[in-house]
Amino acid sequence: MSRPALPQAIGEIAQVARMNENGEHALADLAAPDAASLFILSFRHRDELLDAASRGGWRALAARRAAGVERRFIASGASLAIVDGRGAFDEAIGAIRMLADPVEANAAAMLVLLSRNDVTRLNDVFAAGATHFLASPFGEPELLQALRFAARHAQRVGSGAISRPALSQEEVLSWSYGRGGLELSAALRTRFGLGEGAISARRAYRLLPAGDRAAARAARARLRADYGSTAFLHAMPGGERVVHHLAVGDGGQVTGLIESLDVGNPLPLRRDALTGLPDAAAARRWLSSQLGEGARPGLLLIGLDRLTTVNTLYGRAAGDALLQAASRRIDSAARDVSRHAWLGRLAGTEFIVGLPHATSEQLSDAADRIAHAVGRRYAGAPELAATIGGAIAQDSEDVGTLLRRASAALSEARDVPGHAILLCDSAATGLIERNQQLAEGLRKAMATGQIDVLFQPQVRIADGGVDGVEALARWHHPEFGELGAQALFGAAERAELVESLSELVQRRALQAAAAWPDSLAGLRLSVNVTAADLARTDFASRMLVAIDASGFPRERLTLEVTEEGLIEDLAAAASALAALRQGGCRVAVDDFGTGYSSLAYLKALPLDYLKLDRRLSQDIAGSPRDRIVVRGVIDMARSLGLGVVAEGVETEEQLGLLAAEGCTLYQGFLFSGPVTSEELAKLAL
């Protein structure tokens, strides 16, 4: 999928507009003034504008939210600000008012971008303090021309000698990435306590707080999707909030520039606008004061799960209201353990709870209470769940080390099935070290043949015959023995190898199945597809090429989309899966019923099967209510013309009840666990 265009297909317009009357490219004539800097605030089209401005030679910083916009503009040293009000006029007017004084005081200019329908409100734009405007539809050349006109205005007002706060070269936090790795500026090496020399991309990724790595991965994906530049938010050592601006140069070199969001902020306590809680910087100050007084505070990091899905299904307003309700419950539960408990919001769906002078028992009690409180049903809203990692300060430990231990515990807790609590005691520390060792050894394992696949049969309930198999990854580790897909892909996540591992497992499964004996020639093969796979613009075409290269028939292959990672762009995923179905494959949604994304997948994705999550299959032997839920899912699937495969079937009672409700296929240890191709041939006789 190509980079999204600006409204009114700026890419198409620019393709024509780039040629002047002599047939020569005209964009060169629209280049920015030397050393011209630009600040962009766009609520809907930040990355597209940043990309266009960068191509025009502007050194640009960009924001998507108006919070702190005055400070960010001043700190950028820009002579020109863009406020993009297309599709967000009311938010833009507020931002224009906030920027008006700093723009005037710094002899700068402010260009406002408007939708055609909002041109009638130009008086409001003028009164708020804008100096220039441009109304859509417009192309890239028109945008760059408007910037040139606005820049001339700023130059004249400032008499060509505008002086603004700027960082010296010794203070710049920047890096560049090439074949030798990441070359960091001196200031950035100092921030992270690193010595001279380049570092690997993997090590740089691990320097980020665990809660910020998803944003970094998303930014990297945008660059790979042909964006020229993008940005993401994260925290620095010491709690400082920054925006990380990324750009790709003409030679493919990636550069990064880090912009502080805390510049010039005199407030002793900063609060999150949505919840009113102290923010990440305040959390670090609280911890620093505790450690400075010789205390050994306990720390909990709480990640709220399913909230992204709530935003997708019910809208941002519903998600925000649910987040606020959850924050109140976390606060109440923590104060039930200690009336001196301290609560803050780090970012997104992650909260921090501090307990002064905490014992292990208190920390565990607080974690249990918080998990229970968050998981209780909300009036008129879906349920949430919490994953929690924690640690107690050790002697002579600083804030950064304590936070890293708690973040590592939270990261490990997220790898546990369901929703887990992991406190970083000696046992947890051993688990974290083991998982880190797995991540470090995975690339070698992939290259040396330690990764293999086994096959779990999918059985017809009617006659007990094997209908197909699911390919499951296994790691034959020389020290830890055989490791399953969960540990394997958890290591891949830490090592940033998910896409490579998924492709390897799919290829191994296809090769093994293509070599099956004639006795298995009728079996279907199911392989798992991750959200990261579907985020790749060329996934469908690459997958079809891999299938054909293996010799396995397309019509016998099913691609199982797992709910382990939420698919952020369902439209793109649906397009990829539709192409695969058109190519002859079938599609299933795996672990159906484990999360709110199930229904979103059901509505958006082209499917042939539903695979009931093992908990639904096993709960059917529980209460009448459990059986009604399973019956409803099976009836819904049949109404949509979908087949149903029940996973995790372990008892004859479960199988009988599933058969009574109309389920036709199952897999589980009642028939067989995962087996080799040779063992499968014996089972299928």
pLDDT, average across residues 662-673: 92
pLDDT, average across residues 637-644: 90
Confidence of residue 65 (pLDDT cuts 50, 70, 90): confident
Confidence of residue 162 (pLDDT cuts 50, 70, 90): very low
pLDDT at residue 270 in the model: 53
pLDDT, average across residues 237-254: 73
**What confidence tens digit (pLDDT) does each residue in 163-183 have?**
333 344 445 677 888 777 888
Token code pair at residue 236: 């620095």
Q: Which residue has the higher pLDDT, 564 or 129?
A: 129
Question: How close are the terminal C-alpha atoms of the chain, in Å?
Answer: 45
Token code pair at residue 657: 């009840």
CB 244 within 8 A of CB 219: yes
CB 74 within 8 A of CB 164: yes
Strand-pair category, 586-592 with 421-423: unpaired
Q: What is the DSSP letter of 29?
A: G
pLDDT at residue 188 in the model: 84
CA distance 455 to 83: 55
CA distance 424 to 413: 10
pLDDT at residue 456 in the model: 95
Distant-in-sequence, close-in-space partners of 216: CB < 8 Å, separation ≥ 6: 205, 208, 232, 234, 244
**What confidence tens digit (pLDDT) does each residue in 99-151 have?**
876 676 566 889 999 988 888 888 888 888 888 999 888 888 888 888 888 88
pLDDT at residue 164 in the model: 37
Could you tell me the strand order of the sheet in which 109-114 lies?
59-63, 37-42, 80-84, 109-114, 132-135
Give the 3-state secondary structure of residue 377: coil
CB 526 within 8 A of CB 490: no
Q: What are phi and psi of 32, to 5 degrees?
A: -70, 155
Give the 3-state secondary structure of residue 563: coil
Tell me the residue type at 270.
Answer: R
Q: Which residue has the higher pLDDT, 295 or 273?
A: 295
> Highest mean pLDDT: which of 84-88, 308-312, 345-349, 569-573?
84-88
Helices (H), 497-651: 498-514, 531-535, 539-550, 570-582, 597-604, 614-619, 624-639
CA distance 258 to 492: 27
CA distance 97 to 502: 49
- What region, left, alpha or beta, does residue 279 occupy, with left being phi > 0 and alpha being psi -120 to 50 degrees? beta
Q: Does residue 427 have a pLDDT over 60? A: no
CB 458 within 8 A of CB 666: yes
Angle 407-412-415 from CA coordinates, rounded to 5° = 135
Q: Does residue 558 have a pLDDT over 90? A: yes
Q: What is the largest CA-CA distance in the chain?
A: 89
Token code pair at residue 217: 């991965």
pLDDT, average across residues 356-361: 85
Q: Which residue has the higher pLDDT, 26 or 199?
A: 199
**What confidence tens digit (pLDDT) does each residue in 77-98 have?**
777 899 999 888 888 888 888 7
Of the candidates 379, 352, 374, the one whose C-alpha atom is nearest the C-alpha of residue 363 is 352
- Token pair 């919070």: residue: 67
pLDDT at residue 583 in the model: 94
CB atoms within 10 A of CB 472: 21
Of the candidates 195, 173, 172, 175, the one whose C-alpha atom is nearest the C-alpha of residue 253 is 175
